[in-house]
Amino acid sequence: MSDARDNQPQWDLVIESKTPLFRLNFRELWRYRDLLFLMVMRDYKASFKQTILGPIWFFIQPLLTSTVYSVIFGMIAKLGTDGNPRLLFYLSGVILWNYFSTCLNSSANTFISNANIFGKVYFPRLIMPVSVIISNMLRFSVQFLFFGLALAYYIIQGNTAVHITWVALLTPVFILIMAALGLSMGLIVSSLTTKYRDLTHLIGFGVQLMMYATPVVYPASELPLKWQQIIQYNPMTAVIEGFRYAFLGSGTFSPSMLLYSLGITVVLFFISVIMFNKVEKGFMDTV
Amino acid sequence: MTTLNQHTVLQVEDVSKMYKLGLVSTKSLAHDLNRWWHRTRGKEDPYLRIGESNDRASRGESDYVYALQDINFCVDQGEAVGIIGRNGAGKSTLLKLLSQVTQPTTGRISVRGRIASLLEVGTGFHPELTGRENIFLNGAILGMRKKEIASKLDEIIAFSGVERYIDTPVKRYSSGMYVRLAFAVAAHLESEILIVDEVLAVGDAEFQKKCLGKMGEVSKGQGRTVLFVSHNMQAVKSLCNRAIYLQNGRLKSDGPAQLIVDQYLSGYDSMETTRQYKNLDSEKSVFLKSARCLNTSENEKYMFTADEPITLELVIHKQHPVRGVFLHLLIRNNEEITLLETDSKEAGYAFIDTDKEGDFISRVTIPSRVLRSGRFHVTLGIASAQHDPFQIESLDSFISFDVLADKTPRDARRVALLSTILDWKNV
């Protein structure tokens, strides 16, 4: 590029064998923003083609899961809910965890499920996982609205245990952490799975295990004190507990915990981008 | 050969692409652990023995293979460059590097403008989405902006010729319609450099012609650069003004398309393994033992010019006493259209009419300038009225040969299936 000959044309693109360790080409991503948008639309449309209920499934899924949890963890296992109505408690946990886990799972499959298309055309590879994150965000927003309606119902009914706190203003931060954490962990797995397919079999189990290590089906306060400290190292703990504190007024919230989660997320994000960069260029030769 | 100047849109410098063999086949941690275990005990890698060969056909010593080695060339704006070479010569690897699908091992590729590649049409089509939705999606994948696609939507739909189905999910499309739509999107892409790889192998003849026309228009009319990889030498000749010939990953020659294509084709016979048909054992009472194509000087050959007569030699083996055996030949082109039918009985010639057993050799000659250029496949029937069933043997496309364009100015631009010279007279 630095060749200073007079007749040297201005190159728009130089393909070389080396790539920098960390490369996030925002200009390029921006140029492909229409693709990002169309991918999101594709995910959305394709998931409801040939269904009768269509987007209503957005509500049914978390509702059913929350009901099942209420029966199993609430009624049978008799786990507490910090004095909150069971439905609200589980619903909040389920929609948050669903968002995080689908982000993780789908970005973990980036390379393998898109190998076909990646092998033929170049576009910023990051578009694929990011589009999934966004289309899941769409789903999460609808579910969140549903949660809001349920919350409003309980408040109007005069349920005194439930109250919204100022932490609700931090909701965008919670969502951002979940999205970035899911994306980063997914990308790391995805970068590893181009060579070691074994991890793909492990990931489903791993995510499930992580759910039980996160206060989704139980409040952190139910745990023995020692365990409570251990579980705080899980970056998702602060998100779910914080979210419950924000909207249900139960659970714990500490700014330092949230900062810790944010820090872990940023570190993982950088690691994932480095790994993604490394794999992105050569994966077609190994996948 | 073009050198670097201000019109250069693509410069490839010392590009090599190396693939590690053996390692590629390893997909699991288990294999890697096993390899590590072997290595720590000082034993040889148990997986390296897989796929060692360098040249596709011969065994090699190295674990590494150069799919491309020291490739250098420049392409100017508006040039239509054909990239030719045998299977495994590195054509597809080169295109993959150019379209950034994979990275070169060494060297540098510099590009001015946008590159759009049509490595395989229909990439990113989602079966559940309608044709219209897929046009947008596919266009965006190829690097188009949404409004750019919207402004060309009508044109794309018209070109594809699937108007009626445009709001139907593409999973209900026939494969031909699918390809038509996909090519239509790509052909309307406004990129400075268009890379096309063998798309013309699909679609019917009419659509292939349309594609070739569009590509010609793109390179000649709009001044855009086209890189075209194909085994269809006629298409390369008629579309491209320049060709690059790759052989075993190296650039063998680079020059005017006509010249390079001829060079490629002349070297083809010697390089190619024989296409002779052989079958030594059969339960049939009469069967085809071997077959080959010959030129006028009785040399075995499978690549003819249209000005040469083509002789087909058939060795028929008879192992049971059957009399009155006739031969029947069908000649088909690549599009499965039967062009020619000939029956030895009609020529008043019963091929085997004796009680003797053993080999019988028959030759039949297709005169020069009967067929136009293309690849042809021969189907044989062996029959006898004195045999039950009547048809003794039937072999579909057991041998094929190529006819290259004749040397007249009309050359590859012929539209008919035959280009026979007929008897013209003044009366």
Q: Does position B200 have pLDDT exceeding 60, yes or no?
A: no
d(Cα B322, Cα B286) in Å, to the nearest integer? 8
Q: What is the pLDDT of residues B201-235, one digit of tens each?
A: 555 667 777 777 777 777 777 778 888 888 777 77
| A13 at B interface, C-beta within 8 A | yes
What letter does residue A10 receive in the DSSP assignment? P
- The nearest alpha carbon in chain B to A6 belongs to B6
Nearest to A120 among B23, B32, B101 (CB): B101
Report the DSSP pairing between strands B8-20 and B64-76: antiparallel
Torsion of CA B48, B54, B57, B59, to 10 degrees: -50
Residue extents of the structural domains in chain A: 26-280
Domains and CATH numbers, chain B: 72-269 (3.40.50.300), 277-413 (2.70.50.60)
Report the DSSP pairing between strands B391-404 and B338-343: unpaired
CA of residue B405 relative to chain centroid, distance? 16
Q: What is the mean pLDDT of chain B?
A: 79
| A32 at B interface, C-beta within 8 A | yes
Nearest chain A CA: its distance from B334 CA (Å) = 27
Q: Does position B369 have pLDDT exceeding 70, yes or no?
A: yes
Residues of chain A with Cβ-Cβ distance to B137 below 8 Å are 38-39, 42
Find, among B54, B35, B125, B23, the residue nearest to A194 by Cα.
Answer: B23
Nearest to B136 among A32, A38, A284 (CB): A38
- The nearest alpha carbon in chain B to A15 belongs to B109
pLDDT of residue B50: 42
Q: What is the pLDDT of residues B28-71, one digit of tens each?
A: 566 667 767 776 777 665 554 443 334 544 445 556 678 888 89
d(Cα B117, Cα B47) in Å, to the nearest integer? 35
Contact status, residue A236 vs residue A100, Cβ threshold 8 Å: yes
d(Cα B315, Cα B303) in Å, to the nearest integer? 21
Range ranked top by mean pLDDT from A230-239, B257-266, B341-350:
A230-239
Residues of chain A with Cβ-Cβ distance to B146 below 8 Å are 34, 37-38
ipTM above 0.85, yes or no: no
- The nearest alpha carbon in chain B to A36 belongs to B140
- The nearest alpha carbon in chain B to A2 belongs to B110
| CB within 8 Å of chain B, chain A residues 145-204 | 195-198
Residue with tokens 């007929």: B422
Nearest to B28 among A119, A197, A281 (CB): A197
Take residue B297 and report the two structure tokens written for it.
């000087």
Q: How far apart are the first and last CA of chain B?
A: 53
| A2 at B interface, C-beta within 8 A | no
Q: Does position A7 have pLDDT exceeding 90, yes or no?
A: no
pLDDT of residue B25: 46
- The nearest alpha carbon in chain B to A46 belongs to B128
In DSSP terms, which residues pair with B225 in a beta bridge? B193
pLDDT of residue B199: 55
* DSSP assignment of B138-166: HHHHTT--HHHHHHHHHHHHHHHT-GGGT
What letter does residue B172 receive in the DSSP assignment? G
At A281, which helix (H) or strand (E)? helix A255-286
Range ranked top by mean pLDDT from A181-185, A219-223, B321-325:
A181-185
| CB within 8 Å of chain B, chain A residues 100-139 | 116-123
Nearest chain A CA: its distance from B47 CA (Å) = 15
Take residue B66 and report the two structure tokens written for it.
């150069």
What letter does residue A15 receive in the DSSP assignment? E
Query: Nearest 5 degrees, angle CA B19-CA B23-CA B27?
Result: 125
For the ranges A128-142, A237-251, B52-66, which has the lowest average pLDDT? B52-66
Does A196 sit within 8 Å of B24, measured CB to CB? no
**Phi, psi of B356, rounded to the nearest 5 degrees:** -65, 145
Find, among A58, A80, A69, the residue nearest to A211 by Cα.
Answer: A69
pLDDT of residue A104: 93
